[in-house]
Structure formats: C-alpha cells, structure tokens
Amino acid sequence: MILLCDPRVAAVPGADDGEPLVDLRGVPELRLDDRAADPVGAYARLRRGVVDRLLAAQRALPEGLRLLVIEGYRPYQAQLDIFLGYQEELRRNHPEWSPERLYEETTKFVSPVQVAPHSTGGAVDLTLCTDDGAELDLGTAVDATPEASGNACFTAAPSIRGVARWHRRILVDALTGAGMVNYPTEWWHWSYGDRYWALLTGATQTRYGPV
C-alpha cells in the first residue's frame, strides 16, 4: 500500500495542462450531495477530465445505480485544517506515537497539503446510490477514519463482507475502468491527473497542479 506521505508521491514532477474546473451543479447527469457544501461552492467543482471519467463510470454501473458525488475541489486552507485537526486527534489518543508514526497515520485519512489530490481539482469523494438518491451500504460512512472504523474504511478491508463488499466491487470496477485510481485507505476517494494517479499509472508528470 502506497501512502500519500511516501516520498515517491512528492517526487512526481508537477505540471498543469490548464484544464478548467467544472461546476457539477450544472451537470444534471451526476447526482451531487450537499453534506460538504461550502459558501463558495468549491465542493462542487472538478476538472473536466474527471467529470468525463465519472460520466463514463456511471454508464458502466448496473441499471438502477448512480454515483453520488460528495466533495471535489478542496482549497489549500481547508485541506490544511483537516490535516492538522486529525493529526491532533491522533496525538491526543496516542501520546506514545513517535512524530514519524503520527504523521504516517494521519496521512491514511487526509493528505499532506504538499501533494493533496483534492486541491488540484482532480480528486473526488463519492459513493453509490439508487436512482432516487438512497445511499447504498458500502460498509462504513464516507469519511470514516481508520481510527474510528478499525480500518474498515480501507477499500479492501477483509472485515467488509456481503452486500457492502459487493457494492465496493461495483464502485471499484466502474471507476478503475474509467481510468481513475483509488486511495486504498479510503474506499470513497478517487483521483485522476494528480501526483498519486501519476505514480500509480506510470505517468511522467501530473496533468493537474494545485488550483
């Protein structure tokens, strides 16, 4: 498992092809949840290439199922606040951890700002729902932490069985088939064009840099 704190991620050369951000509130084919809504609507924005791949993934889903997008672009300060907040929570819960372990465990849930996929507009948090918007069971809530879920939030967590495991497989097959990559500690987190995507796919550089 490659974590976002791995030096190989930061070593990927950064570039940006200038592709615009698209507001999903103007893309009726995709269902958008508002639980992560912010005053300026950053949560609803994604790069055009990501939107195209989400639409392709949705077409690959079984009849009656749809993607439910929860959060796309995340500004630098919001990313930093989440990182520092979770790091502090882990520090309180595990005072015996070394600084190195504390940093690594934090990155299992939230990316360091230096390589954050969400801040490029190339990453999306999502789940599955029915045509009428009812969320499916994927084993944990979106944004369940490794600490609180006992690592059940990991995409391939062996503790996830039955229908939840089947739903995860549907999600994985559709999104990987559309050219996106998953962060394996978060079943809901997928990206394209960022450093993590570049490392996993062998791309020589990113398509998207920080917005």
Q: What class does CATH assign to 17-201?
A: alpha beta
- The string over 166-195, giving b where at least 16 C-beta atoms fall within 10 Å of a residue's C-beta and e elsewhere, is ebbebbbebbeebbbbbbbbbbbbbbbbbb
Task: Work out the angle at residue 36's Cα, subtended by the Cα atoms of residues 60 and 77, and round it to the nearest 5 degrees.
Answer: 115
Q: What is the pLDDT of residue 203?
A: 98
Predicted local distance difference test score (pLDDT) of residue 111: 96
Q: What angle do CA 204, 171, 30 make, to 5 degrees?
A: 90
| 138 three-class SS | coil
Residue 56 CB partners (closer than 8 Å, separation 6+): 177, 178, 179
Residue ranges with strand state E in the chain:
21-23, 31-32, 45-47, 65-71, 123-130, 181-182, 189-191
pLDDT digits (tens, 9 = 90+) for 101-119: 999 999 999 999 999 999 9
- Mean pLDDT of all residues belonging to the chain: 97
Where residue 149 falls among pLDDT bands split at 50, 70, 90? Answer: very high
For range 153-176, the mean pLDDT: 98
Strand partners, 21: 47
- Per-residue pLDDT of 35-71, as tens digits, reads 999 999 999 999 999 999 999 999 999 999 999 999 9
- Measured CA to CA, the distance from residue 191 to residue 106 in angstroms comes to 19
Torsion of CA 156, 159, 162, 163, to 10 degrees: -60
pLDDT band at 139 (very low <50, low <70, confident <90, very high): very high
| pLDDT at site 178 | 98
